Amino acid sequence: MSPKQELLRIGTRTSHTALEHARKVRALVAERLPGAHIEVLGIEPAAERRVGGPASLHGRTLAKRELDKQLLDGKIDLAVHWMKEVPCDAPLPEGVTFGAYLKRPDVHDVVVFRQGSPYRSLDELPTGSAVGTASVHRAGQLLRHRPDVRVHSTYGDADSQIETLDTGRGYEAVVVARSEIARPQPPTRAVEVLGLDVMCPPIGAAAIGVACRVDDDRLSDLLYTIDVPVARSHITAERTLQHGLRAHYDSPIAGHCTSTPDGRLSMRGLVFTRDGRHLVEICEQDAANRPTRLGTRVSAGLLSRGVGALITV
């Protein structure tokens, strides 16, 4: 780096997926800051591994706090977050704001079958088949659709779960987010895309947010140029729903906001028991500029039907 070359530091978690997200942000920023030297820094709190690792709820919370701290301390200039992991039950630290939300990729979940499996769809699996998944929201909805399968907890990112599947640990398939599969799958492997009616995504599914310091006007203006307003509206509505339910990433809820052909916001919110036996669902629409009101309406409607007891079970 030359003495006059600008240095910009982008912080993120150390997982493969998080680093890929940060590289995507780096590419977008580099287009707008030609000549700048932009570094991606993987940040992992020392305590993260002692509380269950980066896949645990506490691990994710610690990582988020560490990124906020380094941002406010000036050690990084931007922080890249996977929005489904950013807590909704606590405000952003004073001095931090999300300057941009990127366009969301595909939010569908997929069933990835063991290499060599004779099965090609979830419905084909025999009773008692073992299916792995790393999230409560998938487990509950999976059991609602197939109460006769055995759901096992898996760990790590999507690629790690698929690798575990192929090591012969007794799973017939795993359910993961389609957008999180980084490694190409062999053409012989069966992969079934689940409809959103079968598997509603988690709050903030596949969404990437970029945070900066509130008082950094130059970077705030730069992030404005890469912000996707419709993604911001969808994420705001979903996070308002989660906040209203006093829920978190590991709560048995799901929610997905989209835009209708005429530009209105439409959101589906679900709360269910972890075994999938009981489910409460509400769908609402609102004006395009009312994402907070939409999220509040959906959460209020769900709470009026007694879902608080389901969330805390």
pLDDT band at 155 (very low <50, low <70, confident <90, very high): confident
Coil, helix or strand at residue 302: helix
Q: Tell me the Ramachandran region of residue 32: left when phi exceeds 0, alpha when psi lies from -120 to 50, beta otherwise.
A: alpha
pLDDT band at 54 (very low <50, low <70, confident <90, very high): very low
Q: Tell me the Ramachandran region of residue 200: left when phi exceeds 0, alpha when psi lies from -120 to 50, beta otherwise.
A: beta
Residue 4: per-residue pLDDT = 65
Which alpha helices (DSSP H) does the chain contain, by range? Answer: 16-32, 57-72, 136-145, 158-165, 217-226, 229-244, 291-303, 308-312
- Of the listed ranges 12-16, 52-56, 82-86, 164-168, the least confidently predicted one is 52-56
- Of the listed ranges 51-55, 174-178, 213-217, 286-290, the least confidently predicted one is 51-55
Cβ neighbour number for residue 197 with a 10 Å cutoff: 9
Nearest CA-CA partner of 202 in 36, 67, 63, 57: 57
Question: Which whole number is the average pLDDT over 249-261?
Answer: 94
Q: How is the beta sheet containing 150-153 ordered, strand by strand? A: 150-153, 130-133, 173-177, 109-113, 191-193
Question: Which whole number is the average pLDDT over 70-93?
Answer: 90
Please state, in angstroms and as integers, the Cα–Cα distance from residue 88 to each residue in 96, 165, 249, following that order.
15, 32, 9
Provide the whole-model pTM: 0.91
Residue-wise over 115-129: b if at least 16 C-beta within 10 A, else e? eebebeebeebeeeb
Q: Could you tell me what percent of the chain has a pLDDT over 90?
A: 74
Q: Flag whether pLDDT at 203 surpasses 50.
A: yes
Using CA atoms, how far apart are residues 139 and 259, in angstroms rounded to an integer? 27
Nearest CA-CA partner of 93 in 121, 119, 70, 117: 70
Higher pLDDT, 26 or 170: 26
Higher pLDDT, 90 or 214: 214
Cβ neighbour number for residue 138 with a 10 Å cutoff: 25
